[in-house]
Amino acid sequence: MLIGANVSMKGKGMFVGAVAEAASYGATTLQFYTGAPQNTRRKDVSQMRIPEGLADMKSAGLSHLVIHAPYIVNLGNTIKPENYPFAVQFMKEEVARADALHAYAMPFHPGAHVGAGAGAAIAQIAKGLNQIISPDQHVLIALETMAGKGTEVGRTFEQLAAIIDRVEQPDKIAVTMDTCHMSDAGYAVKNDFDGVLNEFDHVIGLNKLAVIHVNDSKNPQGAHKDRHQNIGFGTLGFDCLNAIVHHPQLTAIPKILETPYVGPDKAHMVPPYGIEISWLKSQQFLPEQLVALGATPLAD
């Protein structure tokens, strides 16, 4: 089973440290950012300890490295055209970093139209992707399903399909499904995931699905909030997410946890991933394990 979590690549450990963290959770895949997601400061690839990290991945039985693109890039903003050239250039550099790390896919938030309308944003996102993507790149840019918060683009499969249809290198573009985002966007993830998967297949195509972000949600279906919750502690529930992780049509897709850290207070927060991965591997939900660490009680 390809199951992992978002880990940290920072300090002296860099790639090696990220792999060690993932391995400590019993993961078989992993995701990280090349730097803080809210800014564009990045270390040179020569400092990332790439050969050691790749060797450690192989030794630990990890595969399908996922590199998440930063949130700060908004290709959909046509209101401030002066920001567009920088966004394109930074993403070109991020693709180069992902390729240097031998990454499989790069989840990418498509952007927001900031008042200009989804159509204008979709056209500019596709234009930007056509400038960013090169025929010889290896990493897939995997547009993420969004919750529809504010003016986010990508809240429907149709919007993602409209972007993909305009991309000139279709073999370099894919999709990341986020279970929390899809539910918050209005899709019946909890009650009819097979129906959601069928709709995705008809609108986009299952062959375009590259990554699944496995997150519970703090909000009900259609809330458009985008607030992740720990596995089984939200409105989707353990049974729903466990079935998705073990879905026979999704065996080859890496599943990445991005659930909140837990703890008694903000000064003592710890990652829940080792516990959550063990639940999904064993298909046994033991909520008391996270409650003991200070996790929020189960949602009503």
Binding positions for Zn(2+) are 68, 109, 144, 178, 181, 213, 226, 228, 258
> Angle at the Cα of 21 (from 16 to 23), degrees rounded to 5?
95
- The closest alpha carbon to 256, from 276, 239, 270, belongs to 276
Binding site: what residues are annotated?
68, 109, 144, 178, 181, 213, 226, 228, 258
Q: Which two tokens stand for residue 271?
A: 């990652």
DSSP 203-230: HT-GGGEEEEEE-EESS-TT-----EE-
Alpha-carbon distance of 122 to 110, in angstroms, equals 8
Q: Is the dihedral of CA 285, 289, 292, 296 positive or negative?
A: negative
DSSP code of 177?
E
246 CB-contact burial (10 Å; exposed 0-12 / middle 13-18 / buried 19+)? middle
59 CB-contact burial (10 Å; exposed 0-12 / middle 13-18 / buried 19+)? exposed
